[in-house]
Protein backbone atom coordinates (compact mmCIF):
# COMPACT_ATOMS: atom_id res chain seq x y z
CA UNK A 1 0.00 0.00 0.00
CA UNK A 2 2.38 2.75 1.18
CA UNK A 3 6.08 2.32 0.60
CA UNK A 4 8.04 3.70 3.54
CA UNK A 5 11.21 3.85 1.42
CA UNK A 6 9.83 6.32 -1.12
CA UNK A 7 11.21 9.82 -1.04
CA UNK A 8 8.75 12.70 -1.08
CA UNK A 9 8.25 14.31 -4.48
CA UNK A 10 8.27 17.83 -3.07
CA UNK A 11 4.54 18.41 -3.08
CA UNK A 12 4.05 20.10 0.28
CA UNK A 13 0.90 22.16 0.27
CA UNK A 14 0.74 23.23 3.92
CA UNK A 15 1.77 26.81 3.19
CA UNK A 16 -0.67 27.01 0.28
CA UNK A 17 -3.58 25.93 2.46
CA UNK A 18 -2.54 28.34 5.22
CA UNK A 19 -2.39 31.26 2.79
CA UNK A 20 -5.80 30.39 1.35
CA UNK A 21 -7.26 30.22 4.86
CA UNK A 22 -5.90 33.68 5.63
CA UNK A 23 -7.23 35.02 2.33
CA UNK A 24 -10.73 33.57 2.44
CA UNK A 25 -11.48 32.95 6.14
CA UNK A 26 -9.31 35.01 8.48
CA UNK A 27 -9.26 38.33 6.60
CA UNK A 28 -13.05 38.48 6.02
CA UNK A 29 -13.70 37.35 9.60
CA UNK A 30 -11.53 40.14 11.01
CA UNK A 31 -13.29 42.60 8.74
CA UNK A 32 -16.73 41.48 9.92
CA UNK A 33 -15.75 41.43 13.60
CA UNK A 34 -14.11 44.86 13.48
CA UNK A 35 -17.14 46.46 11.80
CA UNK A 36 -15.33 48.59 9.25
CA UNK A 37 -15.72 52.33 9.53
CA UNK A 38 -14.73 53.26 6.01
CA UNK A 39 -13.21 52.25 2.76
CA UNK A 40 -9.70 51.99 4.20
CA UNK A 41 -10.35 48.85 6.24
CA UNK A 42 -12.27 47.20 3.40
CA UNK A 43 -9.46 48.07 0.98
CA UNK A 44 -6.85 46.64 3.35
CA UNK A 45 -8.83 43.41 3.75
CA UNK A 46 -9.23 43.04 -0.01
CA UNK A 47 -5.53 43.77 -0.55
CA UNK A 48 -4.57 41.18 2.08
CA UNK A 49 -6.83 38.58 0.45
CA UNK A 50 -5.46 39.28 -3.02
CA UNK A 51 -1.84 39.12 -1.85
CA UNK A 52 -2.41 35.88 0.07
CA UNK A 53 -4.23 34.34 -2.89
CA UNK A 54 -1.39 35.28 -5.24
CA UNK A 55 1.23 33.87 -2.87
CA UNK A 56 -0.81 30.66 -2.52
CA UNK A 57 -1.03 30.34 -6.30
CA UNK A 58 2.73 30.86 -6.68
CA UNK A 59 3.43 28.33 -3.92
CA UNK A 60 1.06 25.83 -5.56
CA UNK A 61 2.77 26.21 -8.93
CA UNK A 62 6.21 25.83 -7.35
CA UNK A 63 5.29 22.74 -5.32
CA UNK A 64 3.35 21.06 -8.13
CA UNK A 65 6.22 20.77 -10.56
CA UNK A 66 7.48 17.20 -10.66
CA UNK A 67 10.62 16.50 -12.58
CA UNK A 68 10.83 13.69 -15.10
CA UNK A 69 13.59 11.84 -13.16
CA UNK A 70 11.36 11.84 -10.06
CA UNK A 71 8.47 10.29 -11.97
CA UNK A 72 10.75 7.78 -13.69
CA UNK A 73 12.30 6.69 -10.38
CA UNK A 74 8.84 6.01 -8.94
CA UNK A 75 7.89 3.97 -12.00
CA UNK A 76 11.03 1.84 -11.70
CA UNK A 77 10.39 1.14 -8.02
CA UNK A 78 6.85 0.02 -8.78
CA UNK A 79 8.13 -2.78 -11.07
Q: How far apart are CA 79 and CA 65, in angstroms?
A: 24
* The pLDDT value given to residue 1: 45
* The pLDDT value given to residue 60: 87
pLDDT at 38 over 70: yes
CB-CB contact of 66 with 10 (8 Å): yes
Domain boundaries, the chain: 14-78
Give the phi and the psi of residue 19 in degrees, each rounded to 5. -65, -40
pLDDT at 15 over 60: yes
Residue 21 pLDDT grade (very low, low, confident, very high; cuts 50, 70, 90): very high
Neighbouring C-beta atoms of residue 11, cutoff 10 Å: 11
pLDDT at 65 over 50: yes
Amino acid sequence: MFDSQQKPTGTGYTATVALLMVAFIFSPAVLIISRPIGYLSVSLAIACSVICSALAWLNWKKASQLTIPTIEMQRERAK
